């Protein structure tokens, strides 16, 4: 039977129907919450038509009259998209004719990814409701759906499963699941049912798999294959704008650079700028700030003006007018573009990763790819509970958890002033990267096994 005529089979899944009916019944309440979030933060994906319709540049490849399997990688955020790039590149080294599509949630990230990967089919990640997911499946007709990290997308998982696609997760994590009360029991039931839709779940750590065990069915295969935090690939670097970026930062400002990536709020940026002021009083240097959310650039500029820092350069202005020389001699650079943070780390001597003063933060491995040591804040739980990736960096001696601006400044000063230590940190970073490559290979093996199984049938 043609897959596109199997809607009656999908409608026969009473759990799937009940879940979508519950969404519709609860929609007035959810709509009010989402409207408030949209008005105050302008970031609710349900109000973006992009997540309901999915224009895609299709790749149709046939070898010897036999269509190659179609693999879709589903990425929720920028970090997950980096993981997708690594997996896709590594997979195509083994299966050069495989068809892949990247499904990304944020439309801005889709545009950046298409610009940097013009030959790659890239589309949107659907809002997790029956109608958009069904349209998404009809357009893409996948054979394998690989969900990166995010496990709670019931419609996407179960509709793909009923469509006939193999559904698997890489770098999987369950997050926090409420376990008490009426709503807690309901969420556990939804999690348990959702996870049954996977063929294989590859968890990013043993602790994540242990947390998921009470929710897992014996029918679902599980493995611990690690977390992929690499963000570079040869294909990605072929199309980057590194010459322009170097001109903006290194060529026009030959002093050492400190980079604060994915900063979250004013408190964090104040923390970083105070440390920078201490450092530059002893060693001439410049600071790059890359806000996690680009709509916050005005807040950062206002903070810099308030603190008396006047010589500021914005990357977007440099790109819009290449003749500008405003960045010459700048004290602080604002990276207000998407997709360039990784390369910016490569031009730095030291880095700080944001989101870590009151939370787990973002990708601390990324600076290490360039041999750049990384610092991060104490996090919500204090110094006693770093994330898995942070702990790896701490144990390897290339990651430094700091509690205040003075500690961050002390760390940065030592890195800038001691060449021998900086070289030792670079060598330690290389050892972590080798472990990351093994993690990438382990995840690719799982996807390859699924593809081989498809071909044998």
The sign one gets for the Cα dihedral 11, 16, 22, 28 is negative
Q: What is the pLDDT of residues 243-288, one digit of tens each?
A: 788 888 865 566 899 999 999 999 999 999 999 999 999 999 999 9
How many CA atoms lie within 13 Å of 47's alpha carbon, on the beta-carbon side?
14
160 domain-assigned? yes
Query: How distant, in Å, are the alpha carbons of 41, 95, 336, 422 from that of 295?
Result: 9, 40, 9, 35
CA dist 185 and 288 (Å) reads: 46
- Residues 179-216: b if buried by 16+ CB within 10 A, e if exposed: eeeeeeeebbebbebbbbbbbbbbbbbeebbebbeebb
Average of per-residue pLDDT across 440-455: 93
Statement to judge: residues 299 and 269 lie in one domain? yes
**Burial of 300 from C-beta contacts in 10 A (0-12 / 13-18 / 19+):** buried
Statement to judge: residues 92 and 207 lie in one domain? yes
305 domain-assigned? yes
The backbone region for 339, taken as left when phi is positive above 0, alpha when psi lies in -120 to 50, beta otherwise, is left
Average of per-residue pLDDT across 382-403: 84
CA dist 121 and 60 (Å) reads: 10
Statement to judge: residues 247 and 295 lie in one domain? yes
pLDDT of residue 65: 43
34 domain-assigned? no
30 domain-assigned? no
Statement to judge: residues 328 and 405 lie in one domain? yes
Q: Using alpha carbons, select from 164, 228, 161, 144 the residue that is nearest to residue 441.
A: 228
pLDDT band at residue 234, thresholds of 50, 70 and 90?
very low
pLDDT of residue 10: 59
Statement to judge: residues 202 and 79 lie in one domain? yes
**Cβ neighbour number for residue 96 with a 10 Å cutoff:** 10
Asked whether the predicted pLDDT for residue 5 surpasses 60, the reply is no
CATH of the domain at 377: 3.40.50.2000
Average of per-residue pLDDT across 398-410: 95
The residues near 209 (Cβ < 8 Å, ≥ 6 apart) are: 203, 222, 224
- Phi and psi at 399, nearest 5°, equal -120, 140
Statement to judge: residues 216 and 249 lie in one domain? no
Q: What is the pLDDT of residues 282-335, one digit of tens each?
A: 999 999 999 998 889 999 999 999 999 989 999 988 776 655 555 567 899 999
Q: Considering the chain, what percentage of its residues have pLDDT values greater than 70?
A: 79
Domain membership of residue 199 as a residue range: 48-235+442-456
CA dist 379 and 376 (Å) reads: 8
Rounded to a whole number of angstroms, the CA Rg of the chain reads 23
Asked whether the predicted pLDDT for residue 197 surpasses 90, the reply is yes
Residue with the two structure tokens 């069904």: 134
pLDDT band at residue 358, thresholds of 50, 70 and 90?
confident
CATH of the domain at 163: 3.40.50.11720
Span of 19-33, 135-149, 372-386, 423-437 with lowest mean pLDDT: 19-33
Statement to judge: residues 201 and 256 lie in one domain? no
426 domain-assigned? no
pLDDT of residue 106: 79
150 domain-assigned? yes
Asked whether the predicted pLDDT for residue 66 surpasses 80, the reply is no
Q: Strands, E, within 76-128: which ranges?
A: 99-104, 121-124
Is residue 354 classed as helix, strand or coil in its secondary structure?
A: coil
Statement to judge: residues 270 and 158 lie in one domain? no
Q: What is the pLDDT of residues 164-175, one digit of tens each?
A: 999 999 999 876
Statement to judge: residues 252 and 312 lie in one domain? yes
pLDDT of residue 3: 53
Across the chain, mean pLDDT equals: 83
**Cβ neighbour number for residue 407 with a 10 Å cutoff:** 16
Q: Assess contact for 399 and 373: CB atoms under 8 A.
A: yes
pLDDT band at residue 58, thresholds of 50, 70 and 90?
very low
pLDDT of residue 388: 73
211 domain-assigned? yes
* Overall number of domains in the chain: 2
Statement to judge: residues 259 and 321 lie in one domain? yes
- Phi and psi at 313, nearest 5°, equal -125, 135
Span of 87-96, 180-189, 350-359, 433-442 with lowest mean pLDDT: 180-189
Asked whether the predicted pLDDT for residue 63 surpasses 50, the reply is no
pLDDT of residue 235: 40
436 domain-assigned? no
- Top mean-pLDDT range of 26-40, 113-127, 135-149: 135-149
Statement to judge: residues 286 and 139 lie in one domain? no
242 vs 265 pLDDT, higher one: 265
Asked whether the predicted pLDDT for residue 379 surpasses 50, the reply is yes
pLDDT of residue 413: 97
**Burial of 2 from C-beta contacts in 10 A (0-12 / 13-18 / 19+):** exposed
Statement to judge: residues 408 and 446 lie in one domain? no
């Amino acid at each position: 039977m043609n897959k596109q005529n199997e809607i009656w089979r999908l409608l026969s899944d009473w759990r799937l129907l009940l879940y979508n009916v519950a969404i519709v019944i609860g929609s007035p309440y959810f709509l009010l919450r989402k409207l408030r979030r949209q008005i105050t933060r302008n970031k609710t994906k349900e109000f973006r038509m992009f997540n309901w319709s999915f224009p895609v540049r299709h790749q149709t490849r046939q070898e010897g009259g036999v269509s190659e399997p179609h693999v879709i990688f589903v990425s929720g955020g920028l970090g997950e998209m980096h993981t997708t790039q690594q997996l896709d590149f590594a997979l195509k080294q083994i299966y050069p004719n495989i068809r892949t599509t990247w499904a990304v949630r944020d439309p801005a990230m889709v545009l950046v990814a298409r610009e940097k990967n013009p030959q790659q089919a890239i589309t949107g990640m659907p809002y997790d409701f029956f109608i958009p997911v069904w349209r998404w499946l009809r357009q893409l007709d996948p054979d394998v759906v690989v969900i990166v990290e995010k496990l709670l997308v019931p419609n996407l998982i179960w509709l793909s499963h009923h469509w006939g696609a193999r559904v698997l997760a890489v770098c999987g994590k369950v997050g926090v699941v409420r376990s008490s009360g009426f709503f807690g029991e309901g969420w556990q039931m939804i999690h348990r049912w959702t996870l049954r839709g996977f063929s294989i779940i590859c968890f990013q750590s043993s602790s994540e798999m242990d947390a998921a065990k009470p929710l897992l069915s014996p029918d679902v295969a599980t493995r611990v294959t690690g977390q992929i935090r690499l963000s570079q690939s040869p294909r990605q670097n072929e199309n980057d704008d590194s010459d322009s970026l170097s001109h903006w930062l290194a060529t026009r400002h030959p002093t050492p650079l400190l980079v604060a990536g994915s900063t979250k709020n004013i408190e964090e940026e104040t923390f970083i700028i105070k440390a920078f002021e201490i450092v530059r009083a002893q060693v001439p240097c410049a600071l790059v700030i890359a806000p996690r959310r680009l709509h916050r650039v005005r807040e950062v500029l206002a903070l810099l003006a308030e603190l008396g820092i006047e010589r500021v350069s914005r990357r977007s202005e440099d790109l819009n007018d290449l003749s500008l020389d405003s960045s010459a001699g700048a004290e602080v650079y604002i990276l207000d573009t998407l997709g360039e943070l990784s390369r910016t780390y490569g031009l730095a001597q030291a880095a700080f990763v944001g989101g870590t003063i009151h939370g787990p933060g973002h990708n601390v491995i990324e600076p290490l790819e360039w041999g750049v040591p990384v610092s991060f804040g104490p996090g919500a739980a204090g110094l006693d509970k770093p994330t898995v990736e942070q702990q790896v960096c701490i144990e390897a001696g290339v990651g430094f958890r700091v509690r205040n601006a003075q500690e961050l400044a002390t760390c940065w000063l030592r890195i800038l002033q001691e060449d021998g230590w900086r070289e030792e940190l670079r060598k330690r970073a290389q050892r972590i990267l080798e472990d990351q490559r093994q993690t990438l290979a382990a995840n690719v093996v799982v996807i390859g096994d699924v593809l081989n199984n498809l071909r044998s049938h």
